[in-house]
Amino acid sequence: MLKGKKIIVGVTGSIAAYKAAIFVRLLVKEGAEVKVLMTEAAKSFISPLTLSTLSKNPVLSDFTQGQEGEWNNHVDLGLWADAFIIAPASANTIAKMANGLCDNLLLATYLSARCPVLFAPAMDLDMYQHPAVQTNIQRLQQFGHTLIEARHGELASGLVGQGRMAEPEELTESLSDFFGRNAPLKGKKVLITAGPTYEAIDPVRFIGNYSSGKMGFALAQEAAQMGAHVTLVAGPTHLVIEHPLVNRINVRSGKEMYEACEEHYATSHINIFAAAVADYAPAQVANHKIKKENDAFEIKLSKTIDIAKTLGSKKREEQFNVGFALETNNEIEHAKGKIKSKNFDLIVLNSLQDTGAGFGHDTNKITLIDKANNIQHFELKSKTEVAKDIIKNIVEKF
């Protein structure tokens, strides 16, 4: 559940800060992208260089860095993260969080964060049991933050009791469980098509299109991040995806793509037809390379199977089908027509009139239209962010 997640680890002034090194290492090992924020007090217990090396990112503690005073934007940091975990969370930092104080980069980022916040207290037993600390912890929980309880054991003071920060393995498990509990597609099966299809003319030539598959792959990644078991049927593309919940099936032609989809369609809950399947294929495929002999050359084409329409005719009430429409004119009307003809619940409209949208780009600009003709427009975004918008919309409607 942590693979691909963007995690901010906040480290505060506690002897338990040494555990942050192991914790960060475990997160990176699980495939998470980690950025570490430290308070000045935390630097007395563990070196920023250690955490920078393990996280593979610069450790941030000041609002500016470098000789030219480059700004560490706490707002961007707060928007970047999928989760913010403060471990260890000292009594001082917990008090500041509970009361909205903001005297360092960690706290400024905390107040700016829109992502879930988890905190793992670490302090001596009498401090931990003090009514002021307990009140602050309860207040943070009332804010919706997740408490990772301090453990019972031997403390740095030599006393034995509750106040010991959870071990790095426990923190990692807690974070993974958190994402698992909050994975809206957990247990669901999602079928996604992506990329182009190549329709053979002869052994060395084909009819194809400019689709890169980037949008379909981004959707597969995001659906898996939401806990879904994804079957990704991909046409020819150089793209790579390694999420453990994604089963990739490589195909070449539209016929192969249909056969792979048909095999998985009946058991799939959500079906997203993002591939750019060729509408026509050569009626006859030459067994040998066709020689260049004449000035003119004709190829007879036959209509290929419409995968989305054919499978849409078999759609059960509990299934949710999503289509894509790439249009150059009368975009809205053409997209609405496809919703009806192909039995879509939702269609994603791209217009080639929009700069930065369509084939080959890392960005996309979409309009979502559902079967009730509700229309939602989005600004130009990266395809990763577009995938989040689409999957979020699917989750809400499904």
34-64 pLDDT tens trace: 999 999 999 999 999 999 999 999 999 887 7
Q: How far apart are CA 52 and CA 67, in angstroms?
A: 19
* pTM of structure: 0.68
Helix ranges restricted to H, the chain:
19-29, 48-55, 74-80, 91-99, 105-112, 125-129, 131-142, 168-181, 214-225, 254-265, 307-312, 331-341, 383-397
Fill in the DSSP letter of residue 3.
T
Mean pLDDT of 372-390: 91
* pLDDT greater than 70 at residue 118: yes
**Helix axis angle, 168-181 to 19-29, nearest 10°:** 40
Between 129 and 244, whose confidence is greater?
Answer: 129
* pLDDT greater than 90 at residue 74: no
Decide: helix, strand or coil at residue 329. coil
214-256 confidence digits (pLDDT tens): 999 999 999 998 889 999 999 999 999 988 889 999 999 999 9
- Any known ligand binding at 29? no
- Supply the pLDDT for residue 322: 98
- Any known ligand binding at 392? no
Residues 237 and 250 sit within 8 Å (Cβ to Cβ): no
- Any known ligand binding at 124? no
Catalytic (active-site) positions = 209
Q: What is the CATH number of domain 6-181?
A: 3.40.50.1950
Domain boundaries, the chain: 6-181, 189-397
- Supply the pLDDT for residue 236: 97
Under the banding of pLDDT at 50, 70 and 90, the label for residue 183 is confident
> What percent of the chain has a predicted confidence (pLDDT) above 70?
96
Q: How far apart are CA 51 and CA 59, in angstroms?
A: 7
Under the banding of pLDDT at 50, 70 and 90, the label for residue 206 is very high
Average pLDDT, the chain: 92
Mean pLDDT of 69-91: 87
CATH topology of domain 189-397: Rossmann fold (3.40.50)
* pLDDT greater than 80 at residue 68: no
- Supply the pLDDT for residue 358: 62
Residues 28 and 56 sit within 8 Å (Cβ to Cβ): yes
- Any known ligand binding at 324? yes
352-378 confidence digits (pLDDT tens): 766 666 666 778 899 999 999 999 999
Mean pLDDT of 135-156: 93
- Supply the pLDDT for residue 327: 77
Residues 342 and 312 sit within 8 Å (Cβ to Cβ): yes
- Any known ligand binding at 188? no
* pLDDT greater than 90 at residue 310: yes
260-306 confidence digits (pLDDT tens): 999 999 999 999 999 999 999 999 999 999 988 888 889 999 999 99
- Supply the pLDDT for residue 359: 67
Comparing 6-181 with 189-397, is the CATH topology the same? yes
Residues 6+ apart with CB under 8 A from 107: 93, 96, 97, 101
Tokens describing residue 217: 């792959």
* pLDDT greater than 90 at residue 18: yes
- Supply the pLDDT for residue 39: 96
Between 218 and 179, whose confidence is greater?
Answer: 218
- Supply the pLDDT for residue 146: 93
Between 101 and 64, whose confidence is greater?
Answer: 101
* pLDDT greater than 90 at residue 167: yes
- Supply the pLDDT for residue 67: 60
Which one, of 312, 317, 314, 286, lies nearest residue 299 by Cα? 286
Between 243 and 146, whose confidence is greater?
Answer: 146
- Supply the pLDDT for residue 304: 95
